[in-house]
A and B are shown apart, each in its own frame.
Chain A
């Protein structure tokens, strides 16, 4: 495992990041791209963090249909690929009449970028804030209510409790927006707004290739992630100070009507802007008659295959790491933890760029192969897979496995009928999430796809850049359909496998 981490994480990143120092490349160009990206990221976080914290508070404390819809919307926004969201909106504003309006002009500029960034950052802010709030005790809010604390001081107490969650949400929103690639690759290109991630891609994709220039920009990206990641970790620790062993999770109650209506409106707004309108636009444009033969016909199935193989590899790595951790290999665990934290700070784009530098030589001629693409997907998705599997294992009562051993169940029965069946649902969920993320992945695909094997994300963005929105919409919808089909197939299989045995009448 240590060898794999060294070969596919440490070595390529070192190769990429030392380039400016070795080549003496001192040109600190692309500052506008960095400045615009940072400003946009901070602006996005200023909007997304409080909204995310409010969504988090509402979805962790409120019961009822609006809370359920809000949770569903957050996950929908999280899972919608950013370039599909952008494609949908670009279809809407690509009509001459709408493009000429004030809204159209704003969309094809910083305003459009900010709107889409906020939509994409909201679920990240809300989900990390939820993790902070879910661990918090309900006692302070209950104590304030019981002791008749007036409304304003109660709000102040609530805000102070929310502050760590908001700060973590802010930091995560900045990092995610800085690292976002799908929106700059579509709307950013059309709008001619310089964005850091796309500038890195341009350094690598255009001739002559400028690895050292790309490396300098990668340093800036990683520096921002490190600064804001440190802030997030510090805020999390501060949040943890209010936790204690005897806490109860906040009780879910149906909120007051006014509050519920406000959140219903907010949820509707984000569901419309982030899911319904862009997907509807894709549908409408996809139904328009074909003007030419369908480009990239194999991209959907190819990316579905990449997703399935990549998810298997990512989850395999995650399970291996968790087994090593459980076995108590302390030094290895420490190495893995450092590598995983570092991996999260390094966006897929930087990792893919480092692979080009590291594996485009006679020693390890992997560049341009499907294997390297799959390794890139696996390395990028391993932290997500690991976190999901760790969560599933943490939820599993160790006594259930201990009971199987103590009662003498054979190894195969324990593995299949007990551990396997108990973990099959979260495992399938993690598998589908990782497979979907890989299927619609963009930056690693853009930089590492082998000739003749265009992945789905690359095909859609290429068609967008050629303004062939009908073909791109069809590909996007076929992709979503294929993923839904896989999800249905796996869900049916799991339901069949995990159903308890019916008792035959005596």
Chain B
């Protein structure tokens, strides 16, 4: 079966500047890929190129196996690509009623209103059908946006940070609803986000766009186990990001964590000769114990079911966050480190 989306060596220019270089990515039918990246990393530019709103400088884009843009003579217009899109700012047409917003994109004229109402009903906003978008809450507007995207009977659903302008409660509910919709309908979806929660709840795979390049395209669990970059580590839900002095010792790396020297097995290659490293770890890899690296607990806060202690270590500018089951005492403590679970990234700052 053809890939729902295949982009091959796509480069995107904006205002004469290259914002995406040589991006290649494929989406299997029924798969949801979250395209993550920091602000300004080129996510939206790539999405616009896939949608046909902009042209790529190089590369080929295929939707459902058909070439829609090859950066040369072949260019299928956005309206002929069979797409649905949910926008960050909803982009509902303000002068049309909710029903019209959905009905107008249904190609088959017969029973348009009925089909639109059914879609609105599916998203729980049928009662708003006669109202103008401006009179709806943010969550209702985004539900209408989802209904409109599906009304186009798309081959590929694109979502541009669909939950970023919603409150926490609505965001959580809509995430679950969207995941259920994608799974049940077998729709392929490409979702742009920089929220780790979107990756956790929506993604079959995660593609990370950093410094104009796709640095990773993997499953969320693989990204958690082997993050390719510090940004990917953060996205995957690893803790830390602490800068520590480091050096290579044979095939291992030695890092200075406070007054202690720790050996990271096989870490020299990851260090790539850098004198400093960014350190990440999964929950539980650092813990308070009776013996270990001397540290000072400067405070603690409660966060989602556990306590988070902030430890000051000699020679480190940034406090180190460590999870613990009970509120830790202030003052001198000892830190136990599972060195084999640490992730190192070279830091050249």
Interface residues of A (CB under 8 A from B): 397, 399-400, 402-411, 413-414, 417-418, 421-422, 498, 500-503
Contacts and interface: CB of A to CB of B under 8 A. Distances in A.
The list of the 7 closest CB pairs from A to B, nearest first, reads A503-B130, A399-B91, A407-B105, A405-B78, A500-B97, A407-B152, A403-B91
Nearest to B160: A399
A417 B149 CA distance: 18
Indicate the member of A397, A399, A404 with the most B CB atoms within 10 Å. A399
Interface in B78-134: 78-85, 87, 89, 91-97, 99-100, 104-105, 107, 129-130, 132
Interface string B21-45: 0000000000000000000000000
A406 B78 contact: yes
Interface string B151-168: 110000010000000000
Interface string B188-206: 0000000000000000000
B95 A408 contact: no
A429 to B, nearest CB: 15
Nearest to A418: B93
B51 interface: yes
A392 B232 CA distance: 42
B132 A406 contact: no
A416 to B, nearest CB: 11
Contacts of A498: 95
Given A408-B80, A410-B79, A500-B132, A402 B99 contact: no
A411 B48 CA distance: 19
A302 B260 CA distance: 93
A501 B95 CA distance: 10
Contacts of B51: 402, 406
Where chain A touches its partner, the secondary structure class is helix
Nearest to A413: B104
Indicate the member of A411, A413, A500 with the most B CB atoms within 10 Å. A500
B148 interface: yes
Given A402-B51, A403-B148, A503-B129, 11 more contacts: A402-B53, A402-B85, A403-B91, A405-B79, A406-B83, A407-B151, A407-B152, A408-B152, A413-B104, A422-B95, A503-B130
A503 B105 contact: no
Interface residues of B, number: 35
B84 A399 contact: no
Nearest to A497: B95
B99 A503 contact: yes
A404 B94 CA distance: 13
Contacts of B48: 402
B77 interface: yes
B105 A500 contact: no
Given A422-B93, A500-B132, A407 B99 contact: no
Nearest to B83: A406
Nearest to A425: B95
Contact of B85 (A397, A400, A406, A418): A406
Interface in B281-297: none
Contacts of A502: 130
5 contacts: A402-B91, A408-B152, A422-B94, A500-B132, A501-B96
A422 B93 CA distance: 8
Contacts of A413: 104
Given A407-B148, A408-B79, A400 B91 contact: yes
Given A399-B91, A500-B97, A503-B97, A405 B53 contact: yes
